Chain A
Amino acid sequence: MNKTGFLFDRRYLLHKTGSYHPEVPERLEMIYKGIEEGGLLSRLVEISASKADMKWIETVHAKAYIDQFEEVCRSGQTIFNTPDNQMCAQSFETALLAVGGILDTVNLVMEGQIDNAFCAVRPPGHHAERNEALGFCYFNNIAIAARYLQMKWGVEKVAIVDFDVHHGNGTQHIFESDPTVFYSSIHEHPSFAFPGTGRVFEKGSGPGEGYTVNYPVLPGQGDAEYRQFFETVLTPAMDEFNPGFILVSTGFDAHVDDDMSGASLTTGGYSWVMERLVQMAATYAKGRLISVLEGGYCLRRLPELAKNHVEILLHASKTRGPHVRQ
């Protein structure tokens, strides 16, 4: 069995989004509940949050943007940049704790203390642009983790796989001209879902052309299309890229019971996806994989999805999977 890290901190519940908002603290409580009641906690290396050093956040976000977020938050305003981004006086601190916890988790993996990890953080990150908060996201957690892996740990090539049902516009834009970070996303087609980006012909730009891969699925599509994506698109692309580390933007909102999308991935489909990803990590990256929570809003499904997700991380084989490079 692997040493699997689990980042969770009750301070992640302090970011409050007001009424009518789907991105609520209960999401994390349901995730924790699933893992706890599944009897997995004692088998995990529990990691708690710490505040990120601002210099790492500045590798992705403009200083002026970070300052503005802090100022708006401290002044007691409840909306930042866009009406979707509702917040409270603790939101800035919580966002710092999310990034800091993830960077600590990166350290643990790189130091060999754990093999892989699931980071159950709030607020999510993949919609956050360099200069703009969007889609419940403030700091692009996973993008900062990728830069941290490169700058602090010298990992040259990082792959980010994003299976949140919404396209990670922020992550794509941050790395679109960078051939050292491969970004691939499977999500509901932009003609039907937020944020309206991630069309199949968006493939990166300049030196980064070909290092962005988008695979939109139509409303109603699910397990079969996700399988198709992994087998015919992602596997050959990963073979080509051969990453030293895999970061996963985990969104449980493609689930058939999640109202936030029309995608129809089943609980079994989610497990299949995660099993492929840990296999890929074994094949290319010595098993090094960190999954970072993005969306997922169906409170009654989150416990089982999180439990399965972590179980797969615990049982992941460290030996190379079938996708061995030729």
Chain B
Amino acid sequence: MFVNDSMTRKIVTIFGQTGIFEARELMAEKKIRHLPVVDEANRLIGMVTDRDIRSTLPRDLFHHPISDAEKQKYTTMTAADIMTTDLITVTPTYTIQDALVLFQDNTVGALPVVNEAQKLVGIISVRDLLRAFINVMGIGEPGTLLGILVEDKIGQLKKLSMP
């Protein structure tokens, strides 16, 4: 029911000074698309996504040679240069419904989870949320889903629960 139960706790993070190529390799290696950027005290300061990196680098960078000057420009570019700082965050006590509404209203694929001191404690992605709702609804478990059709009026639940 809570973000705390469904978030990923093993978070791969980077620092502001991490180079964008390093960030890109990290994403490929860990098969992830979101990298929270933290400071030395593990406080969340930004987020870099694979899309941020793709939109920063020229499309054909790896197929066509570029000038040394241009190469230099990209190799010195850091996470702090391209990260999003205006972040939507949640806390572990947000419910999974809260997270669902946030995903619906905002174009993000993952939400960093912070505690009261703004320290990063987890990350919850759309995939984590899918899994959470599949678990809540018991989809994939053997069993039968029972639907009861009643007239929409007061007192029906009481009637149903009577022996």
Contacts and interface: CB of A to CB of B under 8 A. Distances in A.
A191 B95 contact: yes
B66 interface: no
Given A191-B1, A218-B93, A199 B154 contact: no
B153 interface: yes
Contacts, number: 30
B154 A201 contact: no
The residue in B95, B152, B158 that gathers the most chain A C-beta atoms within 10 A of its C-beta is B95
B69 interface: no
Contacts of A110: none
Contact of B97 (A19, A79, A191): A191
Contacts of A199: 98, 101
15 contacts: A18-B154, A20-B154, A20-B155, A20-B158, A21-B154, A83-B154, A84-B154, A190-B97, A191-B1, A191-B95, A191-B97, A199-B98, A200-B94, A201-B98, A201-B102
A86 B94 CA distance: 34
A19 B158 CA distance: 12
A83 B98 contact: no
A18 B154 CA distance: 9
A326 to B, nearest CB: 24
Contacts of A192: 95
Nearest to A202: B101
Interface string A192-204: 1000000111000
Instruction: Describe A's contact surface by its main secondary structure.
Output: loop
Interface of A: 18-21, 79, 83-84, 86, 189-192, 199-201, 218
Given A191-B95, A191-B98, 13 more contacts: A18-B154, A19-B155, A20-B154, A20-B158, A21-B154, A79-B153, A83-B152, A86-B154, A189-B95, A191-B96, A192-B95, A200-B98, A201-B101
Contacts of B98: 191, 199-201
Contacts of B153: 79, 83
Contacts of B158: 20
Contacts of A189: 95
Nearest to B105: A201
Nearest to B154: A20
Interface residues of B, number: 15
Nearest to A79: B153
Contacts of A21: 154
Contacts of A20: 154-155, 158
Interface in B149-163: 152-155, 158
A235 to B, nearest CB: 18
B45 to A, nearest CB: 20
Interface in B86-114: 88, 93-98, 101-102
A192 B97 CA distance: 10
A192 B154 CA distance: 19
Nearest to B106: A201
Shortest 9 CB-CB distances between A and B: which pairs?
A: A20-B155, A191-B95, A191-B97, A83-B153, A20-B154, A83-B152, A199-B98, A83-B154, A21-B154
Contacts of A19: 154-155
Contacts of B152: 83
The residue in B97, B154, B155 that gathers the most chain A C-beta atoms within 10 A of its C-beta is B154
Contacts of A190: 97
Interface in B36-59: none
A49 to B, nearest CB: 27
A20 B153 CA distance: 10
Contacts of B155: 19-20
A84 B155 CA distance: 10
Nearest to A86: B154
B110 to A, nearest CB: 16
A19 to B, nearest CB: 7
Contacts of B97: 190-191
Interface string B124-163: 0000000000000000000000000000111100100000
A191 B102 CA distance: 14
A190 B95 CA distance: 9
A191 B136 CA distance: 13
B80 to A, nearest CB: 26
A312 to B, nearest CB: 31
B159 to A, nearest CB: 9
A218 B101 CA distance: 18
Nearest to B102: A201
Nearest to A85: B154
